[in-house]
Amino acid sequence: MVVYMQAQQPDQAPSIPSTPTRKRGPLVTALVLGLVVGGAGVGAAWALAEGTSDADSSARGDARGACDALAGVHESKLSAKGPSGEQSLYRFAGAFDLATAAAAGDSSYKPLARAISRAVNRHRLVFEVDAQVRKELAKARDICADL
């Protein structure tokens, strides 16, 4: 019996037709133009926004923001489960952050920052709104009423 062997053909991957290359110039130009226009819009909005940027004005704005956030904090909702409790906790934390920023910019806002800080720290310690948290919140709200 005679066995004939065929010469092996080298394995070649089928050729993939090449796709025509696209020019990316218009895409890059559009992206850069979008960034420039967007940046200009943000800059214009920022320039037209209220107030000056000196430390006193920004500290006053931070204190006012802290008081506005504190006005949205309801003691009964701080321990509540769900979205309303979560929202109150975020407002409480926001009031803390803004009051701290105000005190850093102007020391006259330190009493507000201390009152809110004591309330936040006590709440974190006991996980409820007890008499001490209520007392500090009332003190902070009194300070806010005088701003």
The structural domains of the chain, with segments of one domain joined by +, span 55-145
pLDDT of residue 1: 59
Whether the per-residue pLDDT at 37 is higher than 60: the answer is yes
Q: What backbone phi and psi angles, to 5 degrees, belong to 133?
A: -65, -45
CB atoms within 10 A of CB 77: 19
Cβ within 8 Å of residue 67, ≥6 positions away: 95, 112, 141, 144, 147
CB 106 within 8 A of CB 58: no
Whether the per-residue pLDDT at 20 is higher than 80: the answer is no
Angle at CA of residue 113, ends 110 and 115, nearest 5°: 110
Which residue type is seen at 69? A
> Tens digit of pLDDT for each residue in 38-97?
766 666 666 666 555 555 569 999 999 999 999 999 888 888 888 888 898 999 999 999
Cβ within 8 Å of residue 38, ≥6 positions away: none
